[in-house]
Amino acid sequence: MKIGIDKIGFYIPQYYVDMNKLAEARGVEPEKLTIGIGQEKMAIAPITQDPVTLAANAALQILDDESLEKIDFVMFGTESGIDQSKSAGVYVHQLLGLRPDARTIEMKQACYGATAAIQLAKGHIALNPESKVLVLASDIARYGLHTAGEVTQGAGAVALIISANPRIMALDDISAYLTKDIMDFWRPTYSDVAFVDGKFSNEQYLAFFGQVWKEYKEKSGLSIADFEAICYHLPYTKIGLKALRTILEEGSTDVQEKLKDNYHISTLYGRKVGNIYTASLYLSLLSLLDQKELEAGARIGLFSYGSGAVGEFFSGILQSNYRDFLKIDHHTNLFNNRTELSVSKYEMVFEESLPTDGSSVDVDTTNDPAPICLTGINEHMRQYTNKNK
């Protein structure tokens, strides 16, 4: 039985900051950010968007009567969850009106959570072929103003429906994974910004890629020539290119050119969004699928990396007419309708936060075009609205 990605939804908040202007404000050469890091714009979430609302807005695009009836498992992958106990998925379950007899959980392993969810979803579908699983990947990446990691922040979500006979991509059974206890990036429960050893995290990303790629090839008997494209977890777009370059020599000149071209296309969305942690790899995949017509039957490689660290290399095969099931116009509109923030306004938005002392607050959602918004906090409980209801 084929199991894989049946639908993909995506959401970004309404604001962004231009990396050239951020570079100027931070006293660095713009090329360091646009070429050295490889980012053009960074998505910024207003206070009315959190990982729950971003995920719910991403999922809204892909739900229809059939999926509402069949989704019986919701898995929410996030690094920036809003509660240390309750799953962010339970809020989304309610906001989307999913059926009550569903399981809902949150998955955590830095940027790897959504990949774990997809692999678990495959098992669920294998046992329950009529079911569909909603996998949510949603994060607001925060390192703090004036930190080295600041230029690799971002905000956004990807929602995937995993099912039997998927219409977009069937996942291969073979995958290679690795766990190693390292402190390259982490976020203690008392901190709302990540701690990171930037250089070490880059080294480990590349080392994990090298190891899982080698193991994947051994397990599968496949080689670089079997891939139409390889998509990467992209904390910033330059790093995936560095990883790709480590294996390019395994292929002929034609294979190398094809993989470099398709890598570039897979980074176009990420360049304009920034790091969205768990969703980042799936944004790379979406960027490629939305912006290039690839042949059905083509194999796409996927490298997932979650600091701390877990890495996985897996793959999938594009299905016939897969482009008919993408929401390309909607994604184009999301990008076109964003508003640029000056650096000083971005700093204000970044520093706005909900109270943590038990006091209640209402936030104004009038200027937020998103259907699903956070409206405030009341007695430590986040309040949400779906304006479409």
Give the residue numbers marked as catalytic: 79, 111, 233
Q: Is 251 in the site for ligand CAA (CB under 6 A)?
A: no
Q: Which of 24, 66, 68, 148 binds ligand CAA (CB under 6 A)?
A: 148
Q: Is 51 in the site for ligand CAA (CB under 6 A)?
A: no
- 3-class DSSP state of 134: strand
Strands (E) located in 22-115: 41-44, 71-77, 103-107
Q: Could you identify the residue written with the tokens 């690799």? A: 152
Q: Is 209 in the site for ligand CAA (CB under 6 A)?
A: no
Q: Is 35 in the site for ligand CAA (CB under 6 A)?
A: yes
**In this chain, which stretch among 144-152, 208-216, 254-262, 281-289 interacts with ligand CAA, using CB under 6 A?**
144-152
Rounded to whole angstroms, the Cα distance separating 157 from 277 reads: 9
Q: Is 152 in the site for ligand CAA (CB under 6 A)?
A: yes
Q: What's the CA angle centered on 333, arms 11 and 238, to 5 degrees?
A: 60
Q: Which of 25, 47, 82, 198 binds ligand CAA (CB under 6 A)?
A: 198
Q: Which of 277, 313, 322, 346 binds ligand CAA (CB under 6 A)?
A: 277
Q: Could you identify the residue written with the tokens 């951020």? A: 22
Q: Is 205 in the site for ligand CAA (CB under 6 A)?
A: yes
- DSSP class of residue 35 equals I
Residues 310-349 that bind ligand CAA (CB under 6 A): none
Q: Is 202 in the site for ligand CAA (CB under 6 A)?
A: yes
* Six token digits for residue 57: 């807005």
198 or 251: CB nearest ligand CAA: 198
Identity of the amino acid at 315: S
* Six token digits for residue 188: 């203690």
Q: Could you identify the residue written with the tokens 């309040």? A: 383
Q: Is 158 in the site for ligand CAA (CB under 6 A)?
A: no
Q: Is 36 in the site for ligand CAA (CB under 6 A)?
A: yes
Q: Is the Cβ–Cβ distance between 265 and 200 less than 8 Å?
A: no
Rounded to whole angstroms, the Cα distance separating 303 from 232 reads: 5
Q: Is 218 in the site for ligand CAA (CB under 6 A)?
A: no
Q: Is 302 in the site for ligand CAA (CB under 6 A)?
A: no
4 or 235: CB nearest ligand CAA: 235
**In this chain, which stretch among 99-107, 199-207, 310-318, 368-376 interacts with ligand CAA, using CB under 6 A?**
199-207
**Total Cβ atoms within 10 A of residue 155:** 30
Burial class (CB in 10 A: 0-12, 13-18, 19+), 66: exposed
Closest residue to ligand CAA, judged by C-beta, is: 36
Q: Could you identify the residue written with the tokens 């995936």? A: 240
Residues in contact with ligand CAA by CB under 6 A are 29, 31-32, 35-37, 111, 148-149, 151-152, 184-185, 196, 198-199, 201-202, 205, 233, 235-236, 239, 275, 277, 305, 307
